[in-house]
């Protein structure tokens, strides 16, 4: 009797354990994109979506060009159409035009698209035209797993307007096979008297990049270079500059603003901290690959991901691309927090505070919302929920070109990454880096105020002039600060202050 | 036919003219007097605030305008000289004349954006074939797109390549329509080819040359796609032109009101300067 009982228990256990797999296989056969995990049960899983019927309805989406975010949008649109019977029209738009393509019809009171993709720092301008994410989705299990920082990035004054599909921050990527190479460590020590290690400061970053610049250090017969960075004006370069500035300018002793002094609304972007960062960056033009001063994000991903440089820093895409099985530097890269600085500007005392300072930058990421004037809101939110369901999300984050990056607590587990072929220590360094950034109390969040585009464009133009040698770092940032004052006067100081206070509260750990 | 009937026939044309020309200009002027932007999306009235900003506090627009003047004048002069030379070449009785005429027109028939992407790949400083070729010849790589001065000439190269065929086509049509008698007279007088060109061909071609130059100047002054794809106005602002700057203000930063101010001012400047250029060219090239 006991044996029979044991057998029955074992059988039931086996069924319970393996049933999700059998259940998952049913969907992964039809949708090979999720073959690694199969369907994962949830409110917006493949199984749940297959019970919806949107036959005869059309969903219109405006998204980014293929592949970054455009490819997963189209892929999940096709899957969603198969599951629900809906017709899904996807329009692909270059990054620089995403804002205007949604904003023009928004302002005209039209809704040519039910779903609009953009960047999370559009939130202040877009939120009045977007439908808040309904409670039912906010309270779903998959949403509960989103990290508080990314809930914050997708929300405004506690209301979620953007459906989290991506999580972004800037961090350092480096060639582990070089930095950990004892031969190079010895050679570097002899040449410079310094340790070759993961750079702790931007100065160390610059020294190492300069040393490993313009010679063939990986023996592939071609020259390699120090660093690949986004330096092209109007191609997200201002985000790269903020990343370089955070360590010099985000002082935990002086809360109340990184971009502006919240009290006076005086722009801080030309203080000595920012100037030091821009001076470093001008120096960096000497150790980027030829033409590196014109690198946009795609070039940076291709350059570091293709094994051309020792360092890079920006979003996850270059790192994930480098870790894909077909990459020439697969499992030869490491991740770490952005370098810090040995001094940080104190705007209260008007002097440098000596000592190590580090500040992660939570760059805006891809964001998506549903137009308030859309006639298919329910279907639109279902699509977004399906896009970001557990199975799709796990498959998407492993494909560098998709531009879908970790934003859920589960993403910070090593197993998620070892399952897709990453070495355990690399996966560990990656998730540790992301987790440390989440836990940091000295974070910088993107500028999300009315006129964000104008502020960032003014800064990018000034920084680009410095990189091109048209202006000195101080003169360039003085010019940008003057323009920021003009924009403030046009938009209204109080309007900007009110919006900026939301981001400052997050930076000052009050939210 | 009485007076009213004439108006019936005039109305369709007038209506089209007002719809496609007058209304957009009036709308642009009205928009330029508003502060329409991303945070104030309305046609409010702010008077001439935008114009004051443009004339007192926007050196970037004027820099881009002078840069544009340099780029367009240089490209058009080069296009004219090369286009004239090519037209003269195939105007003569040479072998494969028809083949050359078609070949010379090919760049103009390609899509500018696609061709600029190809040129950008050629000039890519670490991966492009041009620098590879130069290294093979022992020449140091050239910073085609990252040096503020060289980048301007790179833009000029692409523009000249793309639009010289247009100049060639107009000038060839002009050459083919010239009367034969002055050339016969010059030949009887024993004029050398050089004197024939200076005293017969060039003066006879002057009216069509002026037309071709003005048409190309109008087109070149709108240069946008080449700059957008090749350099994005960089490095820094080294290749930023007026139309690219207006695009940034209007569709990137969404300052619609201010972009309208820039557009209208630009239109007025272009009308005035092209009228002056046409007058000067006429005076210089057409001898009474």
Interface test with B, best of A468, A477, A488, A499 (most B CBs within 10 A): A468
Supply the pLDDT for residue B198: 93
C-alpha triplet A250, A252, A256: angle, nearest 5°: 75
- pLDDT band of residue A23 (cuts 50, 70, 90) is very low
Q: CB-CB: which of A100, A232, A465 is closest to B237?
A: A465
- Average pLDDT, integer, range A70-80: 97
Q: Determine what percent of chain B is predicted with pLDDT higher than 90.
A: 73
In A, minimum Cα distance to B121 occurs at: A291
Q: pTM of the full predicted structure?
A: 0.85
Q: Is residue A6 part of a domain?
A: no
Lookup: tokens for A252:
């935990």
CA max distance for chain B: 81
Supply the pLDDT for residue B12: 86
Q: What is the pLDDT of residues A246-266, one digit of tens each?
A: 999 999 999 999 999 999 999
Work out the minimum CA distance from B144 to partner chain A, whole angstroms: 8
Cβ contact (<8 Å) for B234 and A292? no
What value does the mean pLDDT of chain B take? 92
Cα–Cα distance measured from residue A343 to residue A358, given in angstroms and rounded to the nearest whole number: 10
Domains identified in chain A, total number = 2
Q: CB-CB: which of B35, B38, B148 is closest to A453?
A: B38
Is the same domain home to A183 and A69?
A: no
Q: CB-CB: which of A235, A291, A453 is closest to B232?
A: A235
Closest C-alpha to B228, from B125, B120, B124, B123: B120
Supply the pLDDT for residue A25: 63
Cα–Cα distance measured from residue A233 to residue B88, given in angstroms and rounded to the nearest whole number: 43
Supply the pLDDT for residue B251: 87
Q: CB-CB: which of B60, B131, B235 is closest to A294?
A: B235
Is the same domain home to A79 and A228?
A: no
Q: Report the half-sphere exposure of A150 (CA within 13 A, side-chain side).
A: 28
Supply the pLDDT for residue B14: 86
Which three-class secondary structure state does DSSP give residue B125?
A: coil
Supply the pLDDT for residue A3: 55
Supply the pLDDT for residue B276: 95
Lookup: tokens for B128:
């492009």
Lookup: tokens for A372:
């308030």
Q: Give the H/E segment covering residue B120.
A: helix B112-123
Is the same domain home to A206 and A243?
A: yes
Q: What is the pLDDT of residues A341-371, one digit of tens each?
A: 999 999 999 999 999 999 999 887 899 999 9
Work out the minimum CA distance from B108 to partner chain A, whole angstroms: 26
Q: What are residue A224's DSSP bridge partners?
A: A215
- Average pLDDT, integer, range A46-61: 96
Is the same domain home to A398 and A267?
A: no
- Describe the strand order of the beta sheet including A171-175 as a list of residue ranges: A225-228, A309-314, A171-175, A333-336
CB-based contact B90:B172 (threshold 8 Å): yes
**pLDDT of A508 above 70:** yes
Q: CB-CB: which of A97, A233, A289 is closest to B234?
A: A233
Is the same domain home to A489 and A343?
A: yes
Work out the minimum CA distance from B234 to partner chain A, whole angstroms: 7
ipTM for this prediction: 0.82
Interface test with A, best of B121, B224, B253, B258 (most A CBs within 10 A): B253
Q: CB-CB: which of B38, B57, B146 is closest to A293?
A: B146
Q: What are residue A444's DSSP bridge partners?
A: A361
- Average pLDDT, integer, range A143-162: 90
Cβ contact (<8 Å) for B238 and A470? yes
* Chain A CB contacts of B235 below 8 Å: 233, 293-294, 464, 467-468
Q: What is the pLDDT of residues B177-205, one digit of tens each?
A: 999 999 999 999 999 999 999 999 999 99
Cα–Cα distance measured from residue A412 to residue A167, given in angstroms and rounded to the nearest whole number: 12
Q: What is the pLDDT of residues A473-500, one digit of tens each?
A: 999 999 999 999 999 999 999 999 999 9
Cβ neighbours for A442, distance < 8 A, ≥ 6 positions apart: A250, A252, A357, A358, A359, A360
Is the same domain home to A380 and A470?
A: no
Is the same domain home to A295 and A186?
A: yes
In B, minimum Cα distance to A490 occurs at: B35
* Chain B CB contacts of A236 below 8 Å: none
In A, minimum Cα distance to B250 occurs at: A100
Is the same domain home to A316 and A457?
A: yes
Which three-class secondary structure state does DSSP give residue A314?
A: strand
- pLDDT band of residue A312 (cuts 50, 70, 90) is very high
Cβ contact (<8 Å) for A232 and B145? no
Q: CB-CB: which of B124, B148, B254 is closest to A468?
A: B148
Give the domain-ending residue among A375, A404, A433. A404
CB-based contact B86:B133 (threshold 8 Å): no
Q: CB-CB: which of A100, A233, A466 is closest to B233?
A: A233
Cα–Cα distance measured from residue A373 to residue A129, given in angstroms and rounded to the nearest whole number: 8
Lookup: tokens for A63:
């998204």
Give the domain-ending residue among A384, A404, A424. A404
Is the same domain home to A208 and A347?
A: yes
Is the same domain home to A40 and A130?
A: yes
Closest C-alpha to B168, from B207, B205, B109, B212: B212
Work out the minimum CA distance from B256 to partner chain A, whole angstroms: 10
- Average pLDDT, integer, range A227-231: 95
Which three-class secondary structure state does DSSP give residue A201?
A: strand
Q: Is residue A102 part of a domain?
A: yes
Which residue spans within A306-400 are E strands per DSSP? 309-314, 333-336, 341-346, 351-357, 366-371
Give the domain-ending residue among A342, A377, A404. A404
Q: In CATH, what number is assigned to the domain containing residue A216?
A: 3.40.190.10
Which three-class secondary structure state does DSSP give residue A155?
A: strand
Q: How far is CA A138 from CA A445, B222, B276, in A?
A: 22, 49, 65
Q: What is the pLDDT of residues A172-196, one digit of tens each?
A: 999 999 999 999 999 999 999 999 9
Cβ contact (<8 Å) for B146 and A291? yes
Chain A, chain B: beta-carbon pairs less than 8 Å apart = 98
Closest C-alpha to A93, from A64, A135, A122, A129: A64
Q: What is the pLDDT of residues B38-68, one digit of tens each?
A: 888 888 999 999 999 999 999 999 999 999 9
Interface test with A, best of B34, B39, B127 (most A CBs within 10 A): B39
Is the same domain home to A371 and A350?
A: no
In B, minimum Cα distance to A128 occurs at: B39
**pLDDT of A149 above 70:** yes
Full residue range of the structural domain in which residue A109 is found: 12-164+366-404
In B, minimum Cα distance to A460 occurs at: B236
- Average pLDDT, integer, range A419-443: 90
Work out the minimum CA distance from A114 to partner chain B, whole angstroms: 20
- pLDDT band of residue B119 (cuts 50, 70, 90) is very high
Cβ contact (<8 Å) for A107 and B41? yes
Cβ contact (<8 Å) for B231 and A235? no
* Chain B CB contacts of A291 below 8 Å: 124-126, 143-146
* Chain B CB contacts of A224 below 8 Å: none
**pLDDT of B228 above 60:** yes
CATH number at B57-285: 1.10.3720.10
Q: Give the H/E segment covering residue A160.
A: strand A159-160
In B, minimum Cα distance to A467 occurs at: B236
Lookup: tokens for A184:
């190079």
- pLDDT band of residue A124 (cuts 50, 70, 90) is confident
Q: Give the H/E segment covering residue A351.
A: strand A351-357
Cβ contact (<8 Å) for B232 and A233? yes
Is the same domain home to A155 and A193?
A: no
Question: Domain boundaries in chain B?
Answer: 57-285
Supply the pLDDT for residue B288: 61
C-alpha triplet A207, A209, A211: angle, nearest 5°: 70
Cβ contact (<8 Å) for A294 and B35? no
Interface test with A, best of B31, B123, B124, B236 (most A CBs within 10 A): B236
Supply the pLDDT for residue A16: 45
Cβ contact (<8 Å) for B234 and A468? yes
What residues in chain A have their Cβ under 8 A from chain B's Cβ atoms?
Answer: 96-97, 99-100, 103, 107, 125, 232-235, 289-294, 308, 450-451, 453-454, 457, 461, 464-471, 486, 490-491, 495
Which three-class secondary structure state does DSSP give residue A335?
A: strand
| Rg from Cα positions in chain A | 24
**pLDDT of A2 above 80:** no
Work out the minimum CA distance from B147 to partner chain A, whole angstroms: 7
In A, minimum Cα distance to B249 occurs at: A454
């Amino acid at each position: 009797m006991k044996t029979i009982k044991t057998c029955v228990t074992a059988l039931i256990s086996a069924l319970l354990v393996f049933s999700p797999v059998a259940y998952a296989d049913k969907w992964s056969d039809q949708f090979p994109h999720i073959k690694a995990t199969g369907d994962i049960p949830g409110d917006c899983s493949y199984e749940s979506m297959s019970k919806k019927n949107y036959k005869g309805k059309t969903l219109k989406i405006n998204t980014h060009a293929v592949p970054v975010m455009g490819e997963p949008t189209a892929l999940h649109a096709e899957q969603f159409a198969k599951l629900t019977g809906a017709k899904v029209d996807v329009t692909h738009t270059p990054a620089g035009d995403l804002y205007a393509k949604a904003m023009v019809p928004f302002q005209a009171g039209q809704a040519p698209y039910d779903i609009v993709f953009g960047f999370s720092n559009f939130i202040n301008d877009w939120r009045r035209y977007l439908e808040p994410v309904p409670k039912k989705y906010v309270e779903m299990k998959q949403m509960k797993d989103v990290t508080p920082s990314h809930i914050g990035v997708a929300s405004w004054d506690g209301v979620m307007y953007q459906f989290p599909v991506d999580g972004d921050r800037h961090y350092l990527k480096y060639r582990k096979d070089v930095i950990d190479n004892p031969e190079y460590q010895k050679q570097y020590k002899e040449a410079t008297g310094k340790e070759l290690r993961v750079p702790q400061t931007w100065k160390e970053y610059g020294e190492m990049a300069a040393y490993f610049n313009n010679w063939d250090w990986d023996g592939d017969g071609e020259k390699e270079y120090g660093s690949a960075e986004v330096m092209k004006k109007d191609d997200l370069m201002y985000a790269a500059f903020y990343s370089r500035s955070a360590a010099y300018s985000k002082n935990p002793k002086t809360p109340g603003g990184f971009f502006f002094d919240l009290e006076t609304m005086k722009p801080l972007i030309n203080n000595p901290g920012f100037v030091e960062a821009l001076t470093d960056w001008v120096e960096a033009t000497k150790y980027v690959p030829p033409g590196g001063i014109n690198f946009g994000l795609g070039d940076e991903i291709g350059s570091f991901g293709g094994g051309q440089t020792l360092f890079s820093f920006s979003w996850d895409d270059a790192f994930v691309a480098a870790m894909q099985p077909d990459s020439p530097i697969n499992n030869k890269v490491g991740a770490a927090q952005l370098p810090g600085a040995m001094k940080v500007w104190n705007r209260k005392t008007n002097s440098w505070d000596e000592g190590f300072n580090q500040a992660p930058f939570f760059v805006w990421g891809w964001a998506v919302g549903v137009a308030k004037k859309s006639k298919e809101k329910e279907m639109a939110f279902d699509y977004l929920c399906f896009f970001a369901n557990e199975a799709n999300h796990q498959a998407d984050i492993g494909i560098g070109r998709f531009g879908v990056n970790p934003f859920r607590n589960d993403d910070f587990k090593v197993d998620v990454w070892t399952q897709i072929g990453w070495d355990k220590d690399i996966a560990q360094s990656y998730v540790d880096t992301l987790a440390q950034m989440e836990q940091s109390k000295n974070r910088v969040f993107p500028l999300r105020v009315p006129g964000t585009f104008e502020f960032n464009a003014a800064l990018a133009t000034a920084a680009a002039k410095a990189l091109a040698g048209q202006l000195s770092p101080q003169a360039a940032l003085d010019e940008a600060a003057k323009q920021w004052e003009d924009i403030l006067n046009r938009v209204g100081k109080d309007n900007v202050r009110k919006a900026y206070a939301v981001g400052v509260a997050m930076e000052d750990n009050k939210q | 036919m009485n007076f009213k009937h004439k108006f019936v026939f005039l109305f369709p044309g007038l209506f089209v003219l007002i719809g496609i020309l007058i209304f957009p200009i009036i709308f642009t002027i009205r928009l330029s007097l508003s502060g329409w932007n991303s945070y104030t999306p309305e046609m409010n009235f702010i008077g001439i605030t935008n114009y004051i900003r443009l004339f007192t506090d926007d050196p970037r627009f004027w820099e881009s305008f002078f840069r544009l003047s340099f780029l367009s004048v240089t490209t058009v002069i080069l296009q004219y000289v090369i286009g004239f030379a090519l037209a003269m070449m195939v105007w003569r009785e040479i072998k494969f004349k028809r083949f050359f005429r078609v070949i010379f027109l090919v760049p103009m028939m390609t899509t500018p954006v696609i061709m600029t992407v190809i040129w950008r790949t050629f000039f890519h400083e670490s991966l492009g074939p041009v620098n590879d070729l130069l290294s093979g010849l022992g020449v140091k790589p050239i910073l085609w797109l990252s040096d503020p001065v060289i980048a301007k000439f790179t833009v000029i190269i692409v523009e000249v390549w793309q639009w010289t065929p247009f100049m060639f086509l107009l000038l060839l049509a002009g050459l083919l329509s010239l009367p034969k008698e002055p050339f016969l007279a010059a030949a009887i007088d024993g004029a050398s080819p050089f004197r024939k060109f200076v005293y017969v061909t060039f003066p006879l071609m002057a009216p069509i040359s002026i037309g071709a130059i003005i048409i190309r100047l109008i087109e070149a002054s709108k240069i946008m796609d080449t700059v957008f794809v090749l350099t994005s106005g960089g490095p820094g602002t080294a290749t930023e032109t007026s139309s690219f700057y207006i695009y940034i203000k209007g569709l990137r930063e969404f300052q619609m009101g201010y972009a309208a101010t820039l557009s209208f001012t630009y239109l007025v400047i272009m009308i005035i300067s092209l009228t002056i250029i046409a007058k000067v060219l006429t005076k210089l090239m057409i001898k009474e």
